[in-house]
Amino acid sequence: MRMLNVQDTAGARPFDPDAPPSPTPLIQFDGAALAYGRGEGAVQALATTDLKVFAGDFVALVGPSGCGKSTILKLVAGLIRATSGYVFVGGREVGAEDVRIGMAFQNPTLLPWLTIRDNVMLPLKIVPGFRETWRAKRKGEYRERAETLLAKVGLAGFGDRYPWQLSGGMQQRASLCRALIHEPTLLLLDEPFGALDQFTREELWEILQALWMETRPTVLLVTHDLRESAFLANRIVVMSARPGRILVDEHVPFARPRTIDTTAEPGFVALGHRLRNLIVAARTAAKEA
């Protein structure tokens, strides 16, 4: 087990000049690389990578298909281990950390036999710190908590429905509630809005931004949508084609709360173009290699 030496990160700047300095990043990749499989058939998904994400930051990972974005999320979640190097979460090597994580994916993955409210409350039944009081609070405080969150995402009155009675966009709203109900320190989002139409997606950007501004979890968002990354994130990490390397780590300067009108501003449009050109160049370089 390797513990992170806080001295390693002394002097590193948090993303927001107004935020109090964070002595250690919540997430740190220290020369971490990942290959799937072994020997001749091994797939080098992620090249040797250094990355720091500070508490309260909102980082979007973008890049060509197959460049290792989801691999980074899996490494942070501890679902896989780095082939070489280290991944620290909360200052400890991943797996040993005591950090509360929330997750949402492209597919809402709600349990069909549970109501929307019970789906949303599920982490409270499982996660330490909540599960001990589950029986005592599930009909009172925890139910209230679920109802409050459902109302915030526009699902007031839908708690008694089952997932199949809701549209895809409504299910994704519920899955956001489930990801947030246990007040995670770290939120891992893998293309959570990828399957939705543009208008629903834009509505959910605003909802996610509002929820993030309220409790400021650290967010790692994987997305193919450059507008989405620039709307939501404080930092956009652009990756090369496989094996993924970080090409650019771009600060997103737009004031919050951002609105859909923000996406029409020249600075926003220019950022989107710049990122798009980088990704096109990365794809072309990969094809020519």
Ligand X SMILES: Nc1ncnc2c1ncn2[C@@H]1O[C@H](COP(=O)(O)OP(=O)(O)OP(=O)(O)O)[C@@H](O)[C@H]1O
Q: H-helix or E-strand containing 150?
A: helix 141-152
- Judged by CB, which is closer to ligand X: 173, or 242? 242
The interface region with ligand X, picked from 60-68, 121-129, 130-138, 200-208 by CB under 6 A, is 60-68
- Judged by CB, which is closer to ligand X: 26, or 46? 46
- Judged by CB, which is closer to ligand X: 35, or 151? 35
Question: What is the rounded CA–CA span in Å between residue 280 and residue 240?
Answer: 10
Residue 226 found at the interface with ligand X (CB under 6 A): no
- Judged by CB, which is closer to ligand X: 83, or 262? 83
Contact pattern for ligand X over residues 235 through 274, marking x by CB under 6 A? -------x--------------------------------
The interface region with ligand X, picked from 17-25, 61-69, 155-163, 250-258 by CB under 6 A, is 61-69
CA distances to 13, 20, 79 from 4, rounded to whole Å, are 17, 20, 20
* Shortest Cβ 91–ligand X spacing (Å): 25
* Tokens linked to 73: 């999320």
CA distances to 41, 77, 98, 231 from 58, rounded to whole Å, are 35, 16, 20, 11
The interface region with ligand X, picked from 11-19, 66-74, 86-94, 259-267 by CB under 6 A, is 66-74
Contact pattern for ligand X over residues 71 through 110, marking x by CB under 6 A? x---------------------------------------
The interface region with ligand X, picked from 35-43, 82-90, 154-162, 164-172 by CB under 6 A, is 35-43
E strand segments, the chain: 27-36, 43-53, 58-62, 84-89, 92-93, 101-105, 186-190, 218-222, 235-239, 246-251
Question: What is the rounded CA–CA span in Å between residue 175 and residue 136?
Answer: 24
Question: What is the rounded CA–CA span in Å between residue 128 and residue 116?
Answer: 22
Residue 37 found at the interface with ligand X (CB under 6 A): yes
Can you tell me which residue has the tokens 């992170």?
A: 4
**What's the half-sphere exposure (Cβ side, CA atoms, 13 Å) at 220?**
27
Q: Rule CB under 6 A: which residues touch ligand X?
A: 36-37, 43, 45, 65-71, 242
